[in-house]
Amino acid sequence: MMDTFLQRAGALDAADQLARFHELFHVPEGKIYLDGNSLGLMPKACAARVQGVLHNEWSEGLISSWSGAGWFHLPMTVGDRIAPIVGAGEKEIAVGDSTSVNLFKCLAAALKLQEGRKVILSEADNFPTDHYIASGLADMMDGYSVRDLNPGDDLAKKLDEKVAVLILSHVHYKTCEIRDVKAINQAAHDNGVLVLWDLSHTSGAVEINLKADDCDFAVGCTYKYLNGGPGAPAFAWINPRLQEKIQQPLSGWMGHFDPFAFTPDYQPAHGARRFVCGTPQVLSLSSLDEALKLWSDVDRDALFAKSRAMTSFFIEAVETVCADYPLTLVCPRDASKRGSHVSFDYENGYGAMRAMADRGVTGDFRAPKTMRFGFAPLYLSFADVANAVGHLKVVLDGQEWDREEYKIRGEVT
Amino acid sequence: MMDTFLQRAGALDAADQLARFHELFHVPEGKIYLDGNSLGLMPKACAARVQGVLHNEWSEGLISSWSGAGWFHLPMTVGDRIAPIVGAGEKEIAVGDSTSVNLFKCLAAALKLQEGRKVILSEADNFPTDHYIASGLADMMDGYSVRDLNPGDDLAKKLDEKVAVLILSHVHYKTCEIRDVKAINQAAHDNGVLVLWDLSHTSGAVEINLKADDCDFAVGCTYKYLNGGPGAPAFAWINPRLQEKIQQPLSGWMGHFDPFAFTPDYQPAHGARRFVCGTPQVLSLSSLDEALKLWSDVDRDALFAKSRAMTSFFIEAVETVCADYPLTLVCPRDASKRGSHVSFDYENGYGAMRAMADRGVTGDFRAPKTMRFGFAPLYLSFADVANAVGHLKVVLDGQEWDREEYKIRGEVT
C-alpha cells in the first residue's frame, strides 16, 4: 500500500510548481519536518542577511543605519511584504512586538472605537494568549468583561449591543477548522460589533482576504508558515476605513508622527504606523524581512491549493496505510474547511510521537492524546508526506510507542 | 594645550583597569564613537553567537531549541546577567519587548496596586516615550490622568493622595542630570506613591542600586551602554516585596505559570516571569545575552568612576582647548550628579557635528543647538576623548561648521 502512495507522491511532486522553493530552505539532514506550524524552517538567505546586519549595519554603520540601512522604516516595509499574502494593501500592516502585544493593541483600539460597549467576546478554547490578553485588558478597565464563546455556541445569540469586539482565530490551533470570515464579519457588523482576527495559523498557508472580506483588525504570527525565525515579530493590520480614527494605548515614540521632534504630546503617525510602539528588535525583524522576500514569487492560489492537497493526501494515506490502528481524525474532513495541519487522536499518541521523532519525523503532541502534523506548503514535498506515513506505520507495527524511553509524559519537542 | 591633554590621556589609559575590554568590541576603523548612549558598539562575540543561533539552534535544532538551547528561559537568564549591574537580585528581572512596552506593563501594574489613586505623575520633558505611554495608559482608563512634572517644580508639592505612581528617568536624556533615587523614593513612599524608574541612560554606565535604595519598579534599555544590538529587548525589574501581588495586563502566554498546559485562565508565573508577555524575539535576545556575558568580569565601581572621570576630562579639555568659542555646558558640572554623556550648546552646533562626523567623530545633535557626546566607559579610552576634542578644535578653528554641505537642517545620524 505504501508503494502506491509513494508513487502518487512522486507524480504530485513532479507537477508541483512550488517545488523549486524547497532548495531555498535549510532542511536538517534526514529529517521530515512536520512542525512548520510551530516554527518554520530557516530560509538560507536569512543567515547571510543577519550576518550583514551584524557586520555591516550594526558594527560598522552603527547609529547611521537607522536611516542608511532603513531600520527606521522596517516595521512598514516588512508589513508591505506580508500584505499580499493576507489580502491587504500597502502601508496597512505594521510589524513589531509579539502577537500577544499586537492583540492587546488591536483590542484596546477597538474598545476605544466602541465606547459604551464593554464586552469582549472571546473563544474560551482559542490559543490561550488570545483569551489571556482579552482578560488582562478587561481586568484593567472599569466595567469591562470577557464573555466566553464556547464550542457549539450560536454566535448570533452571543452578539448583542453590549459586545464591542469579537476575537477569533481564523484557523483554530487545535481543531484546525477554518472560520467563515465573511459571514462572521457580516453577522458582527450587523450587530455593531468589530472583529479581530488572529491569523497565526493562517498566514503563509491558508487563504485569507482581509480587505475583500471586510475584516476590521487582524494580527498574525510570522515564525510559523512565514519562516521569520524564532519569535520573529508579529504583525497587525487595520482596515483602512478605521486607521485614521484609531487610538491605541501602546503609544511609544516610534509610532509618533514625528518621533525625532521629541515633543511632549503624542501625535500618532498616519495609518498603520501608529501601531508601532518602541524601538524594533532589528536582528529579528531583519531576518523576517529576508524570509519574506521569496514570497514575491509565490503563487498564492497554488500555495493554498497545495496545502489542501497535502493535508488531504496525508489523511488518506494514514487512514489507508494505518487502517488497523484506532486513529481518530480530529480536524475537518472537508479540505475547504481545514487549515494546514492535521491531528489524529491516538491513545498512545505521546509515545508514538516520541518514536517518530527518533526516526527523524518531527510533529507535535498535545495532551492528552493528540498527534499534530503541520504541512508547510512552501517547502514540503508529497514524498515527505508519504514517507512520514511510512514511519508512522513502522512505529505502530513495531509497537515502538510502547518502549520504555518513550513513556515519560511531557511535551514532545 | 592639546599636547597636555593627550599626555594626561596616555597616563589615564595606562592606569585604566577596564582598558582590556576595548579589544572585545568591534570599532570601525578610524572612528571615535561618542554615541554609545544611543547604540552601543558590537561586542565581537555577538556575531559568532547569533551565527550559532541561526545555524545550530534555529536551522538544525528547530522547535527542540525552546528547551534544548534554553530559549524558553532566556528572558530570565538574561535578566540575571543584568541584575548585578543595576543592584538587583536573581530572578527579579524579566527581559523582552521594548522599553515602551515595559513602561506600560509597570505603570499598569502600579495603578492596579494603587486603586483609588488615579493620577500618574510624569515629567513633561522626559524622553518622549515615557510621557506618551503614561498618556496612552491614562487615556484608556476611566477617570485617570497624567499630571505634568515640569523642570523647577517642587516634587513634594506634586505628590498628593491622588497620585498613584511617579515615573522618572534616573539620568535625564537631555540634561544628563542624575536624580537622587533614595530621597525621591522616600518622599514618594511617604505620600503613598510608587516610583517607576527609567534606567535607559543608566544601566552600564552609572551607579544605581535598585534594591538598596528601595525602588518599586524599573525599566531599562539594553542597546545603549549594554551593547545588546539595535533595538535589543528591554528589561523590567519589580521589587521582590511587590512581585507576587502584581497583575499586569499584557498577560501573554509566556508569562503564564504553566504555558504548555494551554488552560483558558491566566495564572501568572511566580515573580518577575509574569512580566514576560509573548514569544521572545530569540535572535535579538541571544545577541543581548552574549553581550552581557563580559559584564561578569567588570568591576562596577571602576566602571562608574571611569564614566565620571571621562566626562570630567572631556569638559575640562573642551573648555580649555576651545576656550575661544562660545560653547555652553548644559549638563551638571558636578560629576556625582552627571550621567555618562555631556552636552554643549553652540549656535552652529548642527554644522559642527556634521563636520565632526566627517572627521570620524560620531556624536549626536539635538535641535536647536545641542551637541551631545556619550562616553561608554567600557570601551572608550581617554585618548579617544582627547582626540575628539582635538577634532572639535580643528572644526571650530577652520569654521568647518560653516561649509555649505553642513548647512541642511536635520538629524545628525
What angle, 0 to 180 degrees and rounded to 10, lies between the N-to-C axes of helices A382-397 and A349-358? 120
What's the whole-number mean pLDDT along residues A127-140? Answer: 94
* Whether this model's pTM surpasses 0.90: yes
Q: Closest Cα partner for A285 from B161, B2, B229, B116?
A: B229
- How many Cβ contacts (< 8 angstroms) between chains A and B? 280
Q: List the single residue in B with minimal CA-CA distance to A31.
A: B60
Could you report the per-residue pLDDT of B181-206, keeping only the tens digit for each? Answer: 999 999 999 999 999 999 999 999 99
Given a contact cutoff of 8 angstroms between Cβ atoms, the answer to whether B214 and B232 are in contact is no
pLDDT digits (tens, 9 = 90+) for B44-90: 999 999 999 999 999 999 999 999 999 999 999 999 999 999 999 99
Residue B373 φ/ψ, nearest 5 degrees? -125, 125
Dihedral class, residue B299 (left if φ above 0, else alpha if ψ from -120 to 50, else beta): beta
In chain B, what is the greatest distance between 2 CA atoms, to the nearest angstrom?
Answer: 71
Residue B413 predicted with pLDDT over 70: no
Sketch out chain B's domains with CATH numbers: 2-43+299-406 (3.90.1150.10), 72-297 (3.40.640.10)
CA angle A76, A290, A382 (to 5 degrees): 120
Q: What are phi and psi of A250, to 5 degrees?
A: -85, 65
Residue B88 DSSP SS3: coil
Q: Does A230 or B401 have the greater pLDDT score? A: A230
Tell me the three state secondary structure of residue B394.
helix
Asked if the interface predicted TM-score (ipTM) of this complex is over 0.90, the answer is yes
Of residues B39, B67, B135, nearest to A251 (C-beta): B135
| pLDDT digits 0-9 by tens, A233-245 | 999 999 999 999 9
Confidence bin at A413 (pLDDT 50/70/90): very low
Minimum CA–CA partner of B47 in chain A: A54
B259·A128 Cβ contact <8 A: yes
- What percent of chain B has pLDDT above 90? 92
**Based on the number of CB atoms within 10 Å of its own CB, is B143 exposed (0-12), middle (13-18) or buried (19 or more)?**
exposed
pLDDT at B228: 98
Distance CA A363, CA A350 (A): 11
For A72, A125, A265, B115, the CA distances from B108, given in Å and listed in that order, are 28, 27, 20, 11
Return the pLDDT at A408: 63
In Å, how far are B164, B174, B270, B341, B410 from B367, measured between CA atoms?
Answer: 34, 11, 45, 16, 8
The closest alpha carbon to A66, from B225, B233, B407, B231, belongs to B231
- Farthest CA pair distance, chain A: 71
Give residue B399's pLDDT: 93
In whole angstroms, how far apart are CA B250 and each of A191, B221, B362?
Answer: 28, 19, 38
Say how far apart CA A278 and CA B235 lie, in whole Å: 13
Residues in A touching B149 (Cβ below 8 Å): none
Asked whether the predicted pLDDT for residue B407 surpasses 80, the reply is no
Q: Which among B310, B378, B308 is positioned nearest to B339, based on CA atoms? A: B308
- Nearest CA to B281 out of B71, B46, B117 is that of B71
User: Which residues of B are the active-site residues?
Assistant: 127, 198, 223-224, 372
- Angle among Cα A115, A139, B242 to the nearest 5 degrees reads 140
Q: What is the spatial distance between Cα A175 and Cα A181, in angstroms, rounded to a whole number?
A: 16
Cell (9 digits) for B398: 577652520
Of A314, A291, A331, A280, give the one whose Cα is nearest residue A95: A280
* B62 contacts in chain A (CB < 8 Å): 28, 33, 35, 39, 41, 362
Coil, strand, or helix at residue A231? coil
What is each CA distance from B10 to B7, B201, B346, B380, in whole angstroms? 5, 27, 29, 13
Per-residue pLDDT tens digits for B268-306: 999 999 999 999 999 999 999 999 999 999 999 999 999
The DSSP code for A206 is S
Q: Which of A111, A223, A249 sits opposite B137 (nearest CB)?
A: A249
Question: What is the average pLDDT score of chain B?
Answer: 96
